[in-house]
Homo-oligomer: A and B are copies of this chain.
Amino acid sequence: MTYELYYWPGIQGRGEFVRLALEEAGADYVDVARGHGAGRGVQAMTTLMGERPFAPFAPPFLRDGDILVSHVANILAYLAPKLGLAPKDEALRLYAHGLQLTITDFVAEVHDAHHPISTELYYEDQKTEAKARTKAFLDHRVPKYFGYFEHALASNPAGPAHAVGESLTTVDLSLFQLWAGMAYAIPRAFADAEKRYPKLAALAAAVAKRPNIARYLASERRLPFSEAGIFRYYPVLDQAAKR
């Protein structure tokens, strides 16, 4: 069965965490809103979000036959066992879902750093507040989150190559995406991140080299980072961190 991923076309956004899992596993999937023709395109997506039972609140969501799953962490928890990207043990699986939800929270904070007042306003209309929030984000929140993820790797009883257990999970793929996103959005503030978070840096490098991921990153299916996505490069915000 072909998985149907629904997400805004044109940006990596939250959909990217799902794409990375599908691509790593070589799964058969369609990125519906990026397609054309019958049953494809943005309208096929917004139809499912309309006035009907079980409508998702927002993209991304995934359709697998009669199953409709929304929210990144929920989608990944559903897909991971089918794609061979979940720990087998229940306690580890619950731990992995907790990590994935911490990643979700981090992503929301990344977004709000450039949109601290309202998603209805442009960044340019909340630039002063964005600078203040980004400074607090870089000074306090990034060290807290990245320190936590670094510790998760360092304290993994199965070794620091993976966040959970002894093999690749969706958490590792998502941590790669956070790393790549931060390197794009705040190159100056993130320049010495490899020294501060060596195990995260090693994980990100290892994920990027996995054959299916490397092929995906080099393909046109991998959209570029941009100032319409979650991770945005605004030089004035990149200057905001303590040095």
Contacts and interface: CB of A to CB of B under 8 A. Distances in A.
Given A129-B117, A132-B118, A136-B120, A70 B57 contact: no
A234 interface: no
Interface stretch (A88-96, A167-175, A184-192, A209-217): A88-96
B156 A140 contact: no
Contacts of A119: 136, 140-141
Grouping DSSP codes into helix (H, G, I), strand (E, B) and loop, the A interface class, with mixed when no group exceeds half, is: helix
Interface residues of A, number: 50
A119 B148 CA distance: 17
Copies of this chain, count? 2
Interface of A: 51-57, 61, 66-71, 73-74, 77-78, 90-91, 94-95, 97-98, 101-102, 104-105, 108, 112, 116-121, 129, 132-133, 136-137, 140-141, 145, 148, 151-152, 155-157
